[in-house]
Chains A and B, each alone.
Chain A
Amino acid sequence: MSFLLEKFEEYAELPAIIFLGKTFNYRDLLVKYAEAEEFIGDKNIKEGEVVSLTSDFTPNTIALILALVNNNNIIVPFTYSLKETEEIKFDIAKVQKSIFVNADDCYTLEEKGGTGEHELYATIRGRNNPGLVLFTSGTSGFPKGAVHDFSKLLEKFKTVRRSMRTVNFLLFDHWGGLNTMFHTLSNGGAVLTLKDRRPQPVCAFIEKHKIELLPASPTFLNLLLMSEEYRNYDLSSLQVISYGTEPMPSSTLERLKKVFPTVKLQQTYGLIELGVLRSKSKSDDSLWVKIGGEGYQTRIIDNLLEIKAESAMLGYLNAPSPFTQDGWFRTNDEVEVDGEYIKILGRKSEIINVGGEKVYPAEVESVIQEINNVAEVTVYAEKNPIMGNIVCAKVRLIEEEDKKAFTVRLKSYCNQKLASFKVPVKVSIENEQQYNERFKKKRV
């Protein structure tokens, strides 16, 4: 951790974070770091205690994270959008103290009364290292708390790499967001934070801050294309758009390439349990990707991707170990292999079995997305006594359209493009948004 503070001394006058229109340089961050250390002392936050941090990317948040890391605390980051139903995460993580950073970047502490006791926490405390707890989004059920040794995750930021002007699109409580932040800070870049993550403000932000790298989700990129907001702004500073967190529909990728012909389109692969792997797409319009990099090994068993990572989590707080006996993490992502490259087809649990044939929702969604007047689509399974399961599609339309006419249009189009068992049997039209605050598709 001290390497980061040394870098901050070195970067001194460079802008470190632009927050609410104000620029804070690295020297300002060091002042805030000193204040955060004082706060930790005043509030008697002891070494090894489990401390949650509800916030977004702000100057004091960065200072607090670093000070808590230095105090060997186990940090549990939460975003403001934490819903009441997710309060359970405080219990799962046995949070002892909770820090809340408000929109003006002022912070307060509350006793949470958790025990802070867990055998995984004991392991981290035994190493005299800081910890980090991240939650799986729980789209497939109950949220699981993944416990990491924070010091291992910081290792990779010791290597100096070029820092692009990156918009912190991804949220603070997941790897994507944290990774962007640490990468930027360790390389003397400026953390550029965003309040509103809808297409129009994002485009305005890219223009204003001459953003070079936009890390986003396929769902967001689809909305961006649909909104056509990119026509209203100068986005010529963009060099790279990276996408991950969910399967990219090939139709969205193709349109993206057409709209941004000179921008590099890069797929990323990261998991709450393992961190973000280094990756390289075969080409801009290809879903084939090479993943791995230093500290990561990959193998394919029964078409499923398994990863061995030096910086893997220790385990879940509230679920059995997902590792094999020899330490490989089962991603449950089904992949196709071509030499060094893989193509991610989808989560094993999301594959629909229609009379013994496999259907990947992402593939069907990609085809439906090509149809005129489709804003968003989610493909899911329904039990059926004849076929075992049938494919169903829930569609949000751009403009109102007669359901029967649309259904016939959808089925006819899919019939031309897909094997018959992949064609949705049931089609429903719903007006509500199909993505969550992370701009990630909500699976049924």
Chain B
Amino acid sequence: MFIKTTDNMITKDEIIEIIFNSIDEINEQNRSSIPKEASTTLFGSQSELDSLGLVHLITSIEEKTEEATGKNITIADEKAMSLSYSPFKTVETLANYIKTLVDA
């Protein structure tokens, strides 16, 4: 399912695929049904995830991103928390944010 790429290259679509895989895992563990769409709200009043669920999801995404790119990234850190537009809002904003981390 994961495309191993060189030079840490990974497209946004591939990142979204990773996020969907992690959502599958979370749904299986929590018996929840978070939809796999780019517009899915990950955190906020519209979201099925509470803060703990978000932490589980992020950790899973970090692990999968590392598997795919060989790059160890930290998605949730002080920097992410202090951005004026939260990267955790939707699947799409999160994918954009991860892309900047992987490309950095």
CB pair B76 A408 closer than 8 Å: no
* A425 to B30 alpha-carbon distance, docked (Å): 13
CB pair A412 B28 closer than 8 Å: yes
| CB contact between B29 and one of A384, A386, A387, A412 (< 8 Å): that residue | A412
Q: Name which of B25, B52, B81 has the most chain A CB atoms within 10 A of its CB.
A: B52
Shortest beta-carbon distance from B53 to chain A in Å: 8
Q: Is B77 an interface residue (CB 8 A)?
A: yes
Q: Is B9 an interface residue (CB 8 A)?
A: no
| CB contact between B77 and one of A354, A385, A408 (< 8 Å): that residue | A385
* A426 to B58 alpha-carbon distance, docked (Å): 11
Q: Is B54 an interface residue (CB 8 A)?
A: yes
Contact mask for chain B residues 4-30; partner A; CB cutoff 8 A; 1 contact, 0 none: 000000000000000000000100111
Q: Within 8 Å CB of A387, what residues of B?
A: 51-52, 55
Q: Within 8 Å CB of A421, what residues of B?
A: 52
Q: Which 8 pairs between the two chains have the least Cβ-Cβ distance?
A: A411-B29, A425-B59, A412-B29, A385-B81, A386-B55, A385-B76, A420-B52, A425-B56
* A408 to B50 alpha-carbon distance, docked (Å): 19
Complex interface residues of chain B between 53 and 93 (CB less than 8 A to chain A) = 53-56, 58-59, 76-78, 80-81
CB pair B54 A386 closer than 8 Å: yes
Q: Is A415 an interface residue (CB 8 A)?
A: yes
Complex interface residues of chain A between 386 and 402 (CB less than 8 A to chain B) = 386-387, 390
CB pair A385 B29 closer than 8 Å: no
Contact mask for chain A residues 403-418; partner B; CB cutoff 8 A; 1 contact, 0 none: 0000010011001000
Residue of B nearest to A410 (CB): B29
* A354 to B80 alpha-carbon distance, docked (Å): 20
Instruction: Report B's interface with A, CB cutoff 8 A.
Output: 25, 28-30, 50-56, 58-59, 76-78, 80-81
**A: interface residue count bin:** 10 to 19
Q: Within 8 Å CB of B53, what residues of A?
A: 420
Shortest beta-carbon distance from B48 to chain A in Å: 13
Q: Is A327 an interface residue (CB 8 A)?
A: no
* A387 to B49 alpha-carbon distance, docked (Å): 14
Beyond A385-B78, A411-B29, 6 additional contacts (C-beta under 8 Å) are: A384-B55, A385-B77, A386-B55, A386-B58, A415-B30, A425-B55
* A387 to B43 alpha-carbon distance, docked (Å): 14
Q: Is A295 an interface residue (CB 8 A)?
A: no
* A24 to B27 alpha-carbon distance, docked (Å): 66
Q: Within 8 Å CB of B30, what residues of A?
A: 415
CB pair A408 B29 closer than 8 Å: yes
* A425 to B58 alpha-carbon distance, docked (Å): 10
CB pair B28 A390 closer than 8 Å: no
CB pair B76 A384 closer than 8 Å: yes
Q: Is A355 an interface residue (CB 8 A)?
A: yes
* A386 to B55 alpha-carbon distance, docked (Å): 7
* A19 to B60 alpha-carbon distance, docked (Å): 55
Q: Within 8 Å CB of B28, what residues of A?
A: 408, 412
CB pair B29 A415 closer than 8 Å: yes
CB pair A386 B76 closer than 8 Å: yes
Q: Within 8 Å CB of A354, what residues of B?
A: 52
Shortest beta-carbon distance from B73 to chain A in Å: 14
Knowing A385-B76, A385-B77, A385-B81 are in contact, say whether A390-B29 is a contact too (CB < 8 A): no
CB pair A426 B59 closer than 8 Å: yes
Knowing A408-B25, A408-B29 are in contact, say whether A386-B51 is a contact too (CB < 8 A): yes
* A426 to B55 alpha-carbon distance, docked (Å): 10
Residue of A nearest to B74 (CB): A385
Q: Within 8 Å CB of A420, what residues of B?
A: 50, 52-53
Q: Within 8 Å CB of A412, what residues of B?
A: 28-29
Q: Within 8 Å CB of A425, what residues of B?
A: 52, 55-56, 59
Q: Within 8 Å CB of B54, what residues of A?
A: 386
Q: Within 8 Å CB of A408, what residues of B?
A: 25, 28-29
* A319 to B19 alpha-carbon distance, docked (Å): 50
Shortest beta-carbon distance from A410 to chain B in Å: 9
Q: Within 8 Å CB of A415, what residues of B?
A: 29-30
Q: Within 8 Å CB of B55, what residues of A?
A: 384, 386-387, 390, 425
Listed by A's residue number, 5 A-B pairs whose Cβ atoms lie within 8 Å are A354-B52, A385-B76, A385-B78, A386-B55, A420-B52
* A350 to B55 alpha-carbon distance, docked (Å): 21
* A312 to B90 alpha-carbon distance, docked (Å): 59
